[in-house]
Amino acid sequence: MIESIKKLFQRELTKLKIEIAQYQHEPNIWLVEASIANSAGNLCLHLIGNLNTFIGAQFGNTGYVRQRELEFSSKDIPRETLIENIEATMLVVENALSTLTPEDLQKEYPRKVLEEMVSTEYFLIHLVMHLAYHLGQINYHRRLLDK
């Protein structure tokens, strides 16, 4: 199961990197319009913060300190910086998940993040789904607003 989860994270983070790279006009990464409240750039920062917090800091002991409010308020970070941060997050996730054993997956995730305490396996699957959900939003944002 650990290898499957690692592959899913790597696949989705690779797609995130590709989505950010595919914007034809770099400023559009930060564009918001009408009912689209979050830019692709802010969603990207949110995903990076989320994974560095709940995987990197928790299992990789990276010391990462999340500043969630900046994930949604920061603007105009260069595309290359976003991509470098995605790549760094890919390494953090890979390294942190490599420390887990099958027994660890069955243990309770050490923090109450959802409405109830859940197993580490359940929470990691939740994090992959969260990543995929926002990745879909970024893809739609790019196709709709990057003209």
At residue 125, the pLDDT reads 97
Query: Cα(51)–Cα(12) distance, rounded to whole angstroms?
Result: 12
Query: Cα(138)–Cα(88) distance, rounded to whole angstroms?
Result: 19
Domain boundaries, the chain: 2-145
34 pLDDT above the threshold of 90: no
Mean pLDDT value across the chain: 96
At residue 68, the pLDDT reads 96
Percent of the chain scoring above 90 in pLDDT: 94
36 pLDDT above the threshold of 90: no
Query: Cα(142)–Cα(40) distance, rounded to whole angstroms?
Result: 8
Task: Give the architecture-level CATH label for domain 2-145.
Answer: Up-down Bundle (1.20)
Q: What is the pLDDT of residues 64-97, one digit of tens each?
A: 999 999 999 999 999 999 999 999 999 999 999 9
Full-model pTM = 0.95
Contact 127, 8 (CB under 8 A): no
At residue 35, the pLDDT reads 85
